Amino acid sequence: MNFITRFQLPLAIDRAAFLDKLGEHFGLTTEDEQSEVRTYTDCFDWRLYKSGFACYATSKKCVLEDLESGEVTTSFSCRKPPRFKEELPEEGAWPAVADAMEMRALLPLVTLRVNHAEYAVRNEDRKAVVRMAVREEYPEGEAAAARCSVYLKPMRGYESEFAALSGYLQTEGLTPKENAGHKKMFRRMGYDPGTYSSKVNVKLSPEMRTDEAARVIFKQLIGVMRVNMDGLRQDLDTEFLHDFRVSVRRTRSALSQIKGIFDDSFTRKAKDDFGYVGRLTNFMRDADVYLLARDAYLSMVPEHRRKGVDAFFQHLRRRRVTERKRMLAEMDSERFNKVLDDWEAFLDSPLPEKPAGPDGGRPVLAQASKFIRKRYRQVIQDGLAIDDATPDEELHELRIDCKKLRYLLEFFISLYPTDKMKLLIGNLKKLQENLGDFNDLCVQAETLQHYLDKIPAGRVGRGEVHISIGFLMGVLYSRQLEVRRQFHEKFTQFAGEENRLLFAELFGAKKTGGSH
Amino acid sequence: MKILAIYNIKGGVGKTVTAVNLAHLAASQGFRTLVCDLDPQSATTFYFRVKPKAKVKSLIEGGKFLDRYIKETDYPGLDLLPADFSFRNLDIAFAETPKPNKRLRATLKGVRDDYDLVLLDCPPNLTKLTENVFHAADYLVHPTIPTTLSTRTLIRLVEFFRDEGLDERRILPFFSMVEKRKSLHRELMASLPREMPGFLQTPVPYLSEIERMGVYREPATAFKGQKYAARVYGALWEELCQRVGLTENT
């Protein structure tokens, strides 16, 4: 039932006392009483919240609500709360939820006890004239923190009775409230919705010392690694590991690209350390990438060939179990923890008055522009050298250069006009997608080749595995050719006039010697 | 929107309880339902605990004059146009309109987007008002006590329809207040449907449970604990839905 008017019961007024008192003035009958425990869920990075949804599960059902109004959008019956999008129904608003979630898991956030009672307010003929609901909610086990709302719904033909009751409630100290929705509820429960993002988001000022700016960037990156560790260890979904790795990679990239800020041997050691941290997770990520794309792979081969391809995934899944144990053991090792702890201790230590590296004391804006300029030039130079006869390896080189350029743009985005930076990053992204697809297809072909004789054939049979995987490799190869054919067009676009002018405008060397 | 009239020229045949119970069943199945109590005795209005209040104008003019008097009942999806003692003048009022037989039909057109079903509880007679009902309703549900007099009134109604060029297939009689221990009831229930093939097959027995509606002032189909009347009317409603082509709303 949709109640239109909501009143907040003051904390000082007890629910039972309120009902007793109301009963002295109005005839009241209880029509319905329900009590349930709701566990609100969302993805680690608040994907439902960001899409305007709130979702909770009880022991019987899973309900989707509108974040703003708190009104129910849709629901479905389920005994166990859904974790992945595959467990959601393919109807109503659920596909939109699934699209927002992608590969992320729904994790429990807040557990609320909700006591909901509906009443009819009746006249002297015992005719219902106003519908009323009283809803009490509190974190399970903390009844003292209960918040109570009274909702009224007018009935057609009994408008004056409705006005009389809502007037009475206000004289009793109840205040009319907008529908609260859930934004406030999450905050009350100690959450800060929408804050986590794996993106680099640091605010730098142009005159900051470059070594200080680098510390700010590094701090954010290690922060992202730390917050993902728990979910990564528990394997809640694949993205904890992914975000962790991306931050490790960015850290290494920053160490090699933001030059001249630390002592050389220190920088070298830090790069080695994070190289070790990154390598620990390599197998897991590769396996995740394949397993996430399992359906896509299976659909590339005819139905009767799928058993052979699936044997590969089964093998991968088993190996992932053993490799995960190995990774977790290593993450408990002294070495691993020392790397992260020492790095954090360094970042928290006071900035030395005299920079350790020769360029550490320079203002960050000029240094950033110099790094970006240099990397951009290299991307253009390498890209122009690529033609149809160029070996694949050189495209991979270019891919890595582009990635480095992308990281630089993202590290230093706050130093430049946001809209232009976003445009530039968007343009770069289009080229990166082409190069990324090409690389993925090459790596996939190699991986399948590598596994061909290691996959236990089992009941499917060795011959069948070979034929199926061979078929798949054929499909992948033709895609690889197609992607490479598109490279030239994508690169020409990126290297074009628009970007060249943008790069010059944003990062061009400052002219000295006054105006002209 | 379907319009069903509950009608019999005779009084005391179970019209009102039929209207009240069927309306409650319809609304509980999700049909947005309006009951119009056209009988100045206002028994339907009483069962729903509403005070009689509507004015003649509500049915003559329609629109906001109708909207103003509609009351929400205690049952979700079920509204009522309460009767009023002034409804005894409905005949005269209808007679004074330009199209005296089709005025009610025009009035009800105004609510066709708001309701899936309108049930008309009619007073027992054959007047300008009931002629309006004949033109407005898609079907006439005719509670028939299996007695000689009741049978005669049904035959009279069929003859009237023929004389007026109305489609007599729109008359849907069913046996009401049936007492199986009476041999006359049993005999008529066996013979009458043979002569009138339109007869609904669900009979409603005479039940003290139904009489208690006046005490509780609620539909027998909403009684807690007592379920026999609910089953009987449920079966009648189901048969009626099939006959008039009402499909359940989702």
In a domain, A257, yes or no: yes
The verdict on a CB contact (< 8 Å) between B69 and A157 is yes
In a domain, B48, yes or no: yes
pLDDT for residue A3? 67
**Residue A445 contacts residue A480 (beta carbons within 8 Å):** yes
The candidate with the shortest Cα–Cα distance to A193, out of A109, A114, A93, A137, is A109
Q: How far apart are CA B119 and CA B108, in angstroms?
A: 11
Please tell me whether residue A260 adopts helix, strand or coil conformation.
Answer: coil
Retrieve residue A411's tokens: 């590290």
* A114, β-bridge pairs: A36, A137
In a domain, B16, yes or no: yes
User: What's the Rg (C-alpha) of chain A?
Assistant: 30
In a domain, B154, yes or no: no
Please tell me whether residue A209 adopts helix, strand or coil conformation.
Answer: strand
Q: How far apart are CA B238 and CA A225, in angstroms?
A: 64
In a domain, A516, yes or no: no
The candidate with the shortest Cα–Cα distance to A433, out of A375, A361, A511, A493, is A493
Separation in Å, CA of B49 to nearest CA in chain A: 5
The candidate with the shortest Cα–Cα distance to A11, out of A181, A183, A175, is A175
Q: How is residue B38 annotated by DSSP?
A: -
Burial (CB count <10 Å: 0-12, 13-18, 19+), residue B219: buried
In a domain, B23, yes or no: yes
Q: In chain A, whose CA is at the least distance from the CA of B50?
A: A127
pLDDT for residue A422? 93
The candidate with the shortest Cα–Cα distance to A262, out of A217, A224, A210, is A210
Domain coverage including residue A450:
210-507
The verdict on a CB contact (< 8 Å) between B50 and A125 is yes
Length of chain B as a residue count: 250
Residues A244 and A387 in one domain: yes
Q: Number of structural domains, chain A?
A: 2
Least confident stretch, A69-73, B5-9, B66-70: A69-73
In a domain, B100, yes or no: yes
Domain coverage including residue B27:
2-136+205-235
Q: Number of structural domains, chain B?
A: 1
Opening angle at CA A407, ends A403 and A413, nearest 5:
140
The verdict on a CB contact (< 8 Å) between B72 and A156 is yes
Sign of the dihedral defined by the CA atoms of residues A344, A348, A354, A358, in that order: positive
Strand-strand pairing, B2-6 and B139-144: parallel
Q: How far apart are CA A489 and CA A494, in angstroms?
A: 9
Residues A84 and A129 in one domain: yes
**Residue A153 contacts residue A129 (beta carbons within 8 Å):** no
Residues A119 and A236 in one domain: no
Residues A227 and A137 in one domain: no
B70 touches chain A (CB under 8 A): yes
CATH number, domain at B132?
A: 3.40.50.300
The candidate with the shortest Cα–Cα distance to A267, out of A279, A258, A278, A255, is A255
Retrieve residue B247's tokens: 């499909």
The candidate with the shortest Cα–Cα distance to A505, out of A403, A385, A426, A419, is A419
Full DSSP string of A116-131: EEEEEEE-TT--EEEE
pLDDT for residue A512? 42
In a domain, B164, yes or no: no
Bin B8: left if φ > 0, else alpha if -120 < ψ < 50, else beta: beta
Please tell me whether residue A483 adopts helix, strand or coil conformation.
Answer: helix
Please tell me whether residue A342 adopts helix, strand or coil conformation.
Answer: helix
Q: How far apart are CA B218 and CA B222, in angstroms?
A: 7
Residues of A within 8 A of B74 (CB-CB) are 120, 127-128
The candidate with the shortest Cα–Cα distance to B103, out of B95, B114, B115, B111, is B95
Mean pLDDT across chain B, nearest whole number? 92
pLDDT for residue A443? 87
Residues of A within 8 A of B64 (CB-CB) are none
- The interface residues of chain B toward chain A in range 199-238, judged by CB-CB distance below 8 A, are 217
Q: How far apart are CA A143 and CA B229, in angstroms?
A: 44
CATH number, domain at A290?
A: 1.40.20.10
CA A63 to chain centre: 22
Q: How far apart are CA A499 and CA A484, in angstroms?
A: 22
**Residue B71 contacts residue B80 (beta carbons within 8 Å):** yes
Residues A299 and A332 in one domain: yes
Q: Which of B50, B69, B76 sits opposite A127 (nearest CB)?
A: B50
Separation in Å, CA of A98 to nearest CA in chain B: 25
In a domain, A193, yes or no: no
Residues A477 and A439 in one domain: yes
Please tell me whether residue B1 adopts helix, strand or coil conformation.
Answer: coil
Q: In chain B, whose CA is at the least distance from the CA of A127?
A: B49
In a domain, B245, yes or no: no
The verdict on a CB contact (< 8 Å) between B48 and A127 is yes
Q: What is the mean pLDDT of residues B177-196?
A: 92
> What is the residue-level pLDDT of chain A in tens, covering all 516 positions?
566 788 888 877 788 888 999 999 889 999 999 999 999 999 999 999 999 999 999 999 999 999 888 888 999 999 999 999 999 999 999 999 999 999 999 999 889 999 999 999 999 999 999 999 998 888 888 887 888 889 999 999 999 999 999 999 999 888 888 766 677 778 777 788 877 877 888 899 999 999 999 999 999 999 999 999 999 999 999 999 999 999 999 999 999 999 999 999 999 999 999 999 999 999 999 999 999 989 999 999 998 888 888 888 999 999 999 999 999 999 999 999 999 999 999 999 999 999 999 999 999 999 999 999 999 999 999 999 999 889 999 999 999 999 999 999 999 999 999 999 999 999 999 999 999 999 989 988 888 888 887 887 777 788 888 888 899 999 999 999 999 999 999 999 999 999 999 999 999 865 443 333
In a domain, A195, yes or no: no
pLDDT for residue A93? 94
Query: HEC string of A166-205?
Result: HHHHHHCCCEEECCCCCHHHHHHCCCCCCCCCCCCCCCCC
Inter-chain contacts counted by CB atoms under 8 A, chains A and B = 26
pLDDT for residue A513? 36
CATH number, domain at A101?
A: 2.40.320
Residues A115 and A215 in one domain: no
Q: How far apart are CA A165 and CA B216, in angstroms?
A: 26
Residues of A within 8 A of B49 (CB-CB) are 125-127
The verdict on a CB contact (< 8 Å) between B70 and A128 is no
Q: Which of A1, A120, A156 sits opposite B71 (nearest CB)?
A: A156
Residues of A within 8 A of B69 (CB-CB) are 157
In a domain, A379, yes or no: yes
Burial (CB count <10 Å: 0-12, 13-18, 19+), residue A479: middle
Residues A171 and A254 in one domain: no
Residues A169 and A249 in one domain: no
Retrieve residue A344's tokens: 């954090």
Q: How is residue A106 annotated by DSSP?
A: P
* CB-facing half-sphere around the CA of A139: CA atoms within 13 A: 10
A124 touches chain B (CB under 8 A): no
Q: How far apart are CA A384 and CA A317, in angstroms?
A: 41
The verdict on a CB contact (< 8 Å) between A128 and B71 is no
Residues A330 and A444 in one domain: yes
Q: How far apart are CA B93 and CA B38, in angstroms?
A: 13
ipTM over 0.90: no
**Residue A182 contacts residue A53 (beta carbons within 8 Å):** no
- The interface residues of chain A toward chain B in range 140-199, judged by CB-CB distance below 8 A, are 155-158
B49 touches chain A (CB under 8 A): yes
In a domain, B185, yes or no: no
Residues of A within 8 A of B50 (CB-CB) are 125, 127, 157
Separation in Å, CA of A132 to nearest CA in chain B: 13
In a domain, A9, yes or no: yes
Separation in Å, CA of B190 to nearest CA in chain A: 42
Residues A177 and A223 in one domain: no
Residues A147 and A239 in one domain: no
Residues of B within 8 A of A31 (CB-CB) are none
In a domain, A515, yes or no: no
**Residue A336 contacts residue A330 (beta carbons within 8 Å):** yes
Retrieve residue A216's tokens: 């700010």
CA A466 to chain centre: 38
H helical segments located in A258-304 = 264-280, 282-292, 294-298
In a domain, A513, yes or no: no
* Residue of A31, A156, A160, A161 best to disrupt the B interface, most CBs of B under 10 A: A156
* Residue of A31, A125, A130, A152 best to disrupt the B interface, most CBs of B under 10 A: A125
Q: Which of B49, B70, B74 sits opposite A156 (nearest CB)?
A: B70
H helical segments located in A332-390 = 334-348, 364-384
The verdict on a CB contact (< 8 Å) between A125 and B74 is no
CA A13 to chain centre: 42
